[in-house]
Structure 1
Amino acid sequence: MWSFALPATYCTYPFHSEKNSILNVKELLDTDVLLKLLFHLPVNYPSTLPDISVNSDQLTRAQCTDVKDKLLEQAKNHLSEPMVHSLILWIQQHLKYVIKESATVCNEKTTLSKGTSTEDGIWMLLLHLDHMRAKAKYVKTVEKWATDLRLTGRLMFMGKIILILLQGDRSNIKEYLILQKTSKVDVDSSGKKCKEKMISVLCETKVQSQQKRFQTFEVKEYSTLDELQKEFETAGLATLFSDFVPPLLK
């Protein structure tokens, strides 16, 4: 068992043999958060996920659990390849989002217990994907991210058009974008896992009162453009459709 401690800004040391890591991470309120990460690597690692222990005097037990859960989610994207280095870098970059998300859940529960609406400040994101080579895995991953981040909306297929429409807390939408751009969610032409490079953010805006709030996240396929247009119109998003979808056909 080895251990080391140094600031989060320095990332040049050899992680591949480390199992015990202490990270000093600058968090939301300009406060240093000291994370102790313990990686237990099974015999058949990296084909099997490591056991991860997270401790910090500055975080609650629930927040440490959230950090652990997020690290395990990321680890699934690196099966069969060394991952400790990548996981440490990922949590250094994303700790504030994980903690903020954890705090958002607590705030939402408190707000609900007081009978106050949580619909204020809901945002919407429309993404266009160029293609999906590993469609089944890709779709499953998008569904999981949406569920984990409490985002609703649609993953829409119409011919060669692939759209992701998300609604939810703006910070969770930002976190989704980070996951979408930094995770190995698809495969390249040779079948090797790769990050999404052909993605376009068509629109990111606050949901207006006249627009419908999706209650779930669903994967849907449409045989015609009219069917796709009707989906947008039913949600009060006719303008969003006309502004961004037809140009994709040109």
Structure 2
Amino acid sequence: SVESVQKSLYFRLSLLLLLSCRKTHGITFRIQISVKELLDTDVLLKLLFHLPVNYPSTLPDISVNSDQLTRAQCTDVKDKLLEQAKNHLSEPMVHSLILWIQQHLKYVIKESATVCNEKTTLSKGTSTEDGIWMLLLHLDHMRAKAKYVKTVEKWATDLRLTGRLMFMGKIILILLQGDRSNIKEYLILQKTSKVDVDSSGKKCKEKMISVLCETKVQSQQKRFQTFEVKEYSTLDELQKEFETAGLATLFSDFVPPLLK
């Protein structure tokens, strides 16, 4: 349950609050999070949040430090937290951000390493924007499934993106390939449009979305020619879809953990 997750979080966090309550400067506090069982070693994240006076209508300023992570990785963690914060604009978000990074730190670090490796292997004078890029997204649920699917298909078509919208049990994945600028545009649409409905049936934005991976398509990987919506009866069927496209590693790194 949500309550048990929250209690577990509080028991596993080492929480330090340094408050400075000033009407003209807002509130600043630091939280130390010990992330367990997600990496080979525990990672102590030192997060500094500054909540401006008009928070949560305005995003907080976030600073990330860790002795176990590189400066670049800390920057990536900060960027991902700010991306997630945009999904919670106008509502209290710090606790949600802490929960999110505890659950996704492993994937943020893996993605950071992937991008770093690509930058070092690209030939001299070649921009990282060149070539075909790939994006793997995880959706928590779809309440208005028919409308949601139709919208995703339209966005993919309009932005000339290929790939798959994949359903397997409770798992919902969107795998996209195309120009990186178009993939970025898709992400903006996905996060800012009222694409689903809430529990009361009111139109709402997608708040339960995770970017599992964003990377350049490699030569050994298959380029999808169309965008298709597919449902799979078993995990093996879903795995075969990835393997056929030369994406076995992508599957093993990101899909099995979603079942836990």
Report if aligned partners of 1:211, 1:237 keep a CA contact under 8 Å in 2.
Answer: yes
Deviations 1:154-208 (A, max 9, x none): 0000000000000000000000000000000000000000000000000000000
Q: 1:237 to 1:64 in 2, by over 3 A?
A: closer
Q: Distance in 2 between matches of 1:243 and 1:51?
A: 31
The separation in 2 between residues aligned to 1:26 and 1:232, in whole angstroms, is 29
Cα separation, 2, equivalents of 1:94 and 1:187: 25
CA pair 197-43 structure 1, distance change in 2 beyond 3 A: closer
Deviates more, 1:158-167 or 1:31-40: 31-40
The verdict on how the C-alpha distance between 1:26 and 1:189 changes in structure 2, with shifts beyond 3 A counting, is closer
Higher deviation after alignment, 110-119 or 178-187: 110-119
SS in 2 for 1:190: coil
Q: Measure, in 2, the Cα distance between the counterparts of 1:182 and 1:212.
A: 30
Of 112-121 and 43-52, more deviation after overlay is shown by 43-52
- Root-mean-square deviation over aligned CA pairs: 10.2
Cα distance, 1:37–1:138 mapped onto 2, change above 3 Å = farther
Q: C-alpha deviations, 1:183-234, integer Å up to 9, x for none?
A: 0000000000000000000000000000000000000000000000000000
Supply the distance in 2 between the matched residues of 1:94 and 1:75 (Cα, whole angstroms).
14
- How far apart, in 1, do the equivalents of 2:252 and 2:40 lie? 43
Cα distance in 2, alignment partners of residues 117 and 163 from structure 1: 28
Structure 1 residues 196 and 30, CA gap change in structure 2 (3 angstroms): same
Moved more, 61-70 or 221-230: 61-70
Q: What is the distance in 2 between the residues matched to 1:112 and 1:233?
A: 25
Offset at 1:53?
Answer: 44
TM-fit CA distance, 1:33: 47
- Determine what percentage of the aligned residue pairs are the same residue: 97
Distance 1:69 1:165, change over 3 A: closer
**Aligned counterpart for 1:197 among listed residues 204, 207, 220:** 207
TM-score normalized by the length of structure 1: 0.54
CA 1:85–1:114 in 2, change beyond 3 Å: closer, same or farther?
same
Give the Cα–Cα distance (whole angstroms) in 2 for the partners of residues 30 and 89 of structure 1.
19
Runs of 5+ consecutive residues of structure 1 not aligned to the other structure: 1-15
Distance in structure 2 (CA, Å) of the matches to 1:128 and 1:28 = 18
Q: Give the secondary-structure state (helix, strand or coil) at the position aligned to 1:141.
A: helix
Alpha carbons of structure 1 residues 121 and 84: separation in structure 2 relative to 1, 3 Å: same
Partners in 1 of 2:93 and 2:44 — Cα distance?
A: 21
The 3-state SS of whatever aligns with 1:78 is coil
* Structure 2 SS opposite 1:19: strand
Matches of 1:107 and 1:156 in 2, distance apart?
A: 28
- For the residues of structure 2 that align with 1:17 and 1:26, how far apart are their CA atoms? 31
Structure 1: distance between partners of 2:69 and 2:252: 46
- With 173-182 and 111-120 compared, the bigger mean Cα shift is at 111-120
Give every structure 1 segment of 4 or more consecutive aligned residues whose post-TM-superposition deviation is greater than 2 Å.
Answer: 16-120
Alignment CA distance shift 1:231-1:83 (3 Å): closer
CA contact (8 A) 1:77 1:185 kept: no
- Alignment match, 2:29: 20
Q: CA deviation at 1:121?
A: 1.0
Is the contact between residue 101 and residue 172 of structure 1 (CA under 8 Å) also seen in structure 2?
Answer: no
1:72-110 CA distance string (max 9 Å, x none): 999999999999999999999999999999999999999
Deviation at 1:54, TM superposition (A): 43
Q: Is the 8 A contact 2:168 2:234 kept in 1?
A: yes
Contact 1:124 1:207 in 2 (8 A): yes
Task: Write the distance in 1 (CA, Å) between the matches of 2:248 and 2:68.
Answer: 47
Counterpart of 1:142 (choices 139, 144, 152) is 152
Q: Distance in 2 between matches of 1:201 and 1:155?
A: 14
CA separation of 1:135 and 1:20: change in aligned 2, threshold 3 A: farther
Which stretch shifts more, 154-163 or 93-102?
93-102
